[in-house]
A and B are shown apart, each in its own frame.
Chain A
Amino acid sequence: MRAIDHHAWTNRWRCWHPAEKLLPASGLLVLTLILPPLTTAPLVLAGMALATVRGAGVPLPTLLSVLAAPTAFLLAGIPFLAVSVDFTHGFALLPSQDGLRLALTMTIRALAAMSCLAFLILTTPVTDWVASLRRVGVPSGVVELSLLTYRLIFVFVERALTGHQAQAARLGYSRVDRSVRSLGLLAGNLFQRSLAQAHRLEIGLAARGYTGELRVLTPKRVLSRMRLVVGLGLVGLVGTAGSLLARGLS
């Protein structure tokens, strides 16, 4: 989590307008979902990986670790797409041709889609996304709530890790029953301290004239037409190449 946030704030493309990154990534994501995945998805995966690693300068291991996040989900779900259940003769599990094909296309499609998501979250800090929510029409109160939540997440993670370490050092996680108890105490304690923190923030803000609106400076990002065009061009290129290849193969 820290790695993702760290690279989002320090990569080479951080100062770009979020739309310049959102346009190609969401375009490719849509292509991945609607075009035949066997030909399009590898192109999307390659394009997004290149953009992330060569363009934005995010180290490859970080990208790979982000791509690996849903692996557990895929590993559990994919094999079961390949087999089919038959109730007509009792209960039987049969591997099927269609199922195998589906499993293969889903794996590659999910990986390509993950690469689009990885590109977005590794190149743009969360605050940029949240700030642009306001422009979509989300009430400013809710946007502020999200920004405050974002800030507090890091405060609480720090606390949770310290508490966890202290408990682990006192053998709090040596058995399953102890782990449940320790985790419960940790979470309860964290909740109590979260509320105390909120209360302190409230007092601090009230002392500074807080009336329900937090004013923050949002850095001005200039939208570059050229980058938008290049992004669109990439999407168009991958789209045509993917569909032409698919037609050629079939």
Chain B
Amino acid sequence: MHIAEGFLPPLHAAAWTAVSLPFVIVSAWRVNRLMRDQPQIKLLLAASGAFAFVISALKLPSVTGSCSHATGTGLGAILFGPSVMALLGTIVLLFQTLLLAHGGITTLGANVISMAIVGPWVAYGLLRGARWLNAPLAVSVFLAAMLGDLATYTVTASQLALAFPDPASGFLGSFVKFLGVFAPTQLPLAVIEGLLTVVIVNFLREYSGDELKILQFPLNTLATEVRS
């Protein structure tokens, strides 16, 4: 869920941009070094970024009738790891602004925080945690993708609530308000995204074992399962 251009007050927009910058810079630095060591990885990353863009532009079947899109954050974090996702996600968000008019330039920082930083880290952490607890892969992937999606949406709601505190009940009231208003679309969306990610990961494990092995940075859990 992208915050539209001009929706955040200038101070908030600047602050979110400042918060997101260090993450993106560190990620860019790491990816840059990775690309210098292995030039061919640039093409792989470009293909992955384009893939993430196309996935996020896919219309999901919606239960409530409204048109909704996948975020792809969970899948990206599972495949490429969150440290790479900060840069890839930023590039994808930038292109979504420039090619689809989704999101905005002043709100890019805020959207990067929710979709390229918090969402992927939550998804990655959950996947790691669930695997550590020996949960089945499908369950871990589902939880990671669904809760990563929900984390994104919660962060967006709190960003909006901070920008527009309720006159009577302040931040908390506003937070509840924004969570509530987007819940009818976001909750089913998160479940569907979770299911979708499981289907994708299953497909990849069945048919793309070799490709998964090429991706060296991603989760070893996936790769080892493919090998066994």
Contact = CB atoms under 8 A, between A and B. Distances in A.
Contacts of B10: 30, 33-34
B101 A69 contact: yes
B65 to A, nearest CB: 12
Contacts of A245: none
B226 interface: no
Interface of B: 1-7, 9-10, 13, 28-29, 31-32, 35-36, 39-40, 42-51, 53-55, 57-58, 60-61, 63, 66-67, 75, 79, 87, 91-92, 94-95, 97-102, 104-106, 160, 164, 166-169, 172-174, 176-178, 180-182, 185, 192, 195-200, 202-204, 207-208, 211, 214
B52 to A, nearest CB: 9
B28 A1 contact: no
B199 A188 contact: yes
Nearest to B107: A113
A81 B181 CA distance: 11
A21 to B, nearest CB: 13
A142 B6 contact: no
A115 to B, nearest CB: 9
B5 A113 contact: yes
Interface of A: 1, 4-5, 29-30, 32-34, 66, 69-70, 72-74, 76-77, 80-81, 83-88, 94, 96, 98-99, 102, 106, 109-114, 116-118, 120-121, 126, 129, 138-139, 141-142, 144-146, 148-153, 155-157, 160, 173, 176, 179-181, 183-192, 194-199, 201-202, 205-206, 210-212
A222 B139 CA distance: 57
Contacts of B198: 184
A148 to B, nearest CB: 3
Contact of B6 (A33, A148, A176): A33
Contacts of A153: 50, 53-54, 95, 99
A184 B43 contact: no
Contacts of A111: 6
21 contacts: A1-B100, A5-B99, A29-B106, A69-B102, A70-B4, A73-B1, A80-B178, A87-B173, A96-B167, A114-B101, A149-B46, A149-B50, A153-B99, A157-B57, A183-B196, A184-B195, A191-B79, A194-B47, A194-B51, A195-B208, A195-B211
Contacts of A109: 6-7
A98 B39 contact: no
Given A1-B57, A74-B4, A117-B104, 11 more contacts: A70-B101, A72-B67, A76-B185, A85-B176, A102-B164, A106-B7, A150-B95, A188-B199, A194-B51, A198-B47, A206-B40
